[in-house]
Structure 1
Amino acid sequence: MSRTWERKVRKNTNQINKARKKHGASQIGTSAAPKVERFKGRNYIFPIFLVLMISMYTILVTTAPDFEPTTMLWVTIGCYLFLALIFLLRRPYLAVGKDYIQTRKLTGDKQLHVSNIKGISVQKGAVVIMQQKGANWVFSRLLNRYPTDEMSSRLQDFAKTHNLPFETK
């Protein structure tokens, strides 16, 4: 009996929220998730590098005098092109939350809490987040097409809120 009641409440809440969304009103019964501002870039250097490498490999292999086309050659070429496409479509980002900063690295998503941030440095076309331990996180307009101007203003507010050193060069 209790589960059917919960389902009815959930169904009615969803219907009411859809109607409220159409009218521009705030939704009910949803927990207010913390606001995370996300700045997206575009990774194009590594995919271009992969395509150049596989094209060089293809040219060198196919121009050899004893070349015989095999299925494995075409599978290898296809896999490298697929990998380049994945890296092109997986957009790098910087997410600034309430008390953390998150980004996507090669090994997955990484999160850096305020206690692990040594400082933030901003210069024209680049933002550097310095860690207590480990390598600095560098977000560049040239390499990954990040909106560094918008990022720097948001990170300056983040640094003020958490009393972090903020340096503008």
Structure 2
Amino acid sequence: MSRSWERKVQKNQLELNKQRKKEGKKPISLTQSTAADSTAETFKGRSFIFPIFLILFIGFYVMVTLRSPVYEQTGAMFWVTIACYILLAVLFFFRKPYLTISKEYIRSRRFMGDKSLFKDAIKAIVVKKGYVIIEQKKGGNWMFSQATNRFPTDDMREPLRVFAANNSIPFMEK
């Protein structure tokens, strides 16, 4: 079976399970059931670099605008823009990145939403001091850092080793 077909099936199963959950029914796929999720381990981090960047950006924007002669012409939209940037920074700060390790997949929150990597799509897992890198066969690598996103990389090492051993994925520790 082709990979694109598998992705379509998984996407449709997720949508159907969301509808069934709203109706109060049990999910039909194992990846969404409570039995499968009970064996999954989730590690949460904290995103603080992008919110800090947004706050610094909006501070620079305010300083430049307040010192220019154009400030008298700015209206309420100027302050709405500032409020929206601050709201965006707060949203990114409280929206924690995570890594979920299950039997057959690894799931994480990427910039555009939650993404799953199934065992067939993983080329290797590399663990360094303070870093975990999941190399994909197709696409960019997923990197989880203790310094930038406050992930507990030491705690993630053993579940990733077990996941790699169970699914015949190369596991490198440096």
Relative to the length of structure 1, the TM-score reads 0.80
1:162 to 148, 155, 167: 167
1:37-48 to structure 2, matched below 5 A, reads 37-48=41-52
Are 1:85 and 2:90 an aligned pair?
A: yes
| Structure 1, gaps ≥5 residues long | 1-30
1:32 and 1:41, CA in 2 relative to 1: closer, same or farther beyond 3 A? Answer: closer
Q: Following TM superposition, where does structure 1 have runs of at least 4 consecutive aligned residues deviating by more than 3 angstroms?
A: none
Distance 1:66 1:144 in 2: 38
Structure 1 CA distance, aligned partners of 2:126 and 2:92? 27
Amino acid at match of 2:68: A
Partner of 1:51: 55
The one-letter code of the counterpart of 1:83 is L
**Alpha carbons of structure 1 residues 73 and 32: separation in structure 2 relative to 1, 3 Å:** closer
Q: How many residues align?
A: 139
Percent of matched pairs sharing the same residue: 48
Residue in structure 2 matched with residue 65 of structure 1 by the alignment = 69
Deviation track 1:18-54 (CA, whole Å, cap 9, x = no partner) reads xxxxxxxxxxxxx752121000000000000000000
User: What amino acid is the match of 1:37?
Assistant: E
| Bigger fraction of residues in helix | 2
SS, match of residue 35 in structure 2: coil
Displacement of 1:126 in angstroms is 0.1
**Rg (Cα) greater in structure:** 1
- State the superposition RMSD in angstroms: 1.1
Gaps of 5+ in 2: 1-32
Following superposition, the deviation at residue 65 of structure 1 comes to: 2.6
